Structure 1
């Protein structure tokens, strides 16, 4: 019999939801899943994360999507608006994961579809996320939805004595007709002119200055 899969968008949590969310987080982390924990988190830790996420949901600054398999929590995903006013239309995707016993059911695609649709309805212009460099399956999933790599911090994610790249990806959802896309062109608030070539120090001097301060 095929499992029954449903998507649930909670705005508050009862004891059962807290317990089942913790089970997913704990078991994914126990198997080394790249979800931000070096060891399986305690229930108080996941409870705090859940309450914080749901507070943002109720404020209109986030959306939590939970996948139920046969009535039990099997996967999670969240987008959360960035708090700074200059990033009000940008949100980060986080905690996209499926319980080890529920992998292979397509839950990741279901979650990402729901998160992207929700973010677009909320007026989010850009979705961003970070993923561990060796998590190729997740990177491929995000690429299927149009996410592209915009940056890479090499060997900064620490797992004991191992170091991994921090891959940064983003998806543009669209902009309103009145939005002016300046990118990195001159002009606009906070603009400053380039320094004349004659005033730029040679790179050899810059290197010596940096070395001298160490």
Structure 2
């Protein structure tokens, strides 16, 4: 039985960055709705990852890394607000599990780790969005999220292929 854990990283070294870059590229190219449209190369993903790393190092985002036997197998980001009026909630971004690890319940493990990290930071609510047309709402609803809105056609994945952005909220 593999050892599975979710850790919160406040620093991203070169090795972790390389793993995250490969993971994000592989998830996108397998059809994952994580900010890009396949096909992508590492060169396309790298600047976005580097922006994420800067925010993690700056303390405005926390990186929740899913590890299987010590190796990164997925990640998600907790993005907190700088507004004093919104310090009780965060946005969850870029939730992903490597395609070779999908279907093993690791998405639930990752999100449980995200929830634990959020509670440890005193957060009361989490917000996230998903790309419509993938059925992802059901996954998050089973984790306690509620759909509270939909922005029709907000995501253009290709000319003539607009998808809804579905907004979800979870009370911790």
Name the TM-score class by shorter chain. Answer: 0.7 to 0.9
131, 154, 157: which one aligns with 1:156: 154
1:143 equivalent in alignment to 2:141: yes
Q: In angstroms, what is the RMSD of aligned CA positions?
A: 2.2
CA contact (8 A) 1:7 1:68 kept: yes
Counterpart-to-counterpart distance in 2, 1:70 and 1:117: 20
Q: Which has the larger radius of gyration?
A: 1
**Secondary structure of the structure 2 residue equivalent to 1:9:** strand
CA contact (8 A) 1:130 1:169 kept: yes
TM-score of the aligned structures, taking structure 1 as reference length: 0.70
* Paired residues for 1:15-164 under 5 Å: 15-43=14-42, 46-58=45-57, 60-136=59-135, 138-160=136-158, 161-164=160-163
Question: What's the offset of the Cα at 1:106?
Answer: 1.2
Distance 1:125 1:107, change over 3 A: same
Alignment partner, residue 165 of structure 1: 164
CA contact (8 A) 1:63 1:115 kept: no
Counterpart-to-counterpart distance in 2, 1:162 and 1:88: 36
* Count of matched residue pairs: 171
Question: What's the offset of the Cα at 1:51?
Answer: 4.6
CA contact (8 A) 2:137 2:147 kept: no
Is the strand fraction higher in 1 or 2? 2
CA contact (8 A) 2:21 2:49 kept: no
CA contact (8 A) 1:28 1:97 kept: yes
**Which of the pair has the greater relative contact order for Cα pairs under 8 Å at 6+ separation?**
2
Unaligned residue ranges in structure 2 (runs of 5+): none
Alignment partner, residue 190 of structure 1: none
Deviations, residues 14-60 of structure 1 (Å, cap 9, x unaligned): 22211111111111111221111124555455444445444544555
Counterpart-to-counterpart distance in 2, 1:95 and 1:55: 15
Unaligned residue ranges in structure 1 (runs of 5+): 174-214
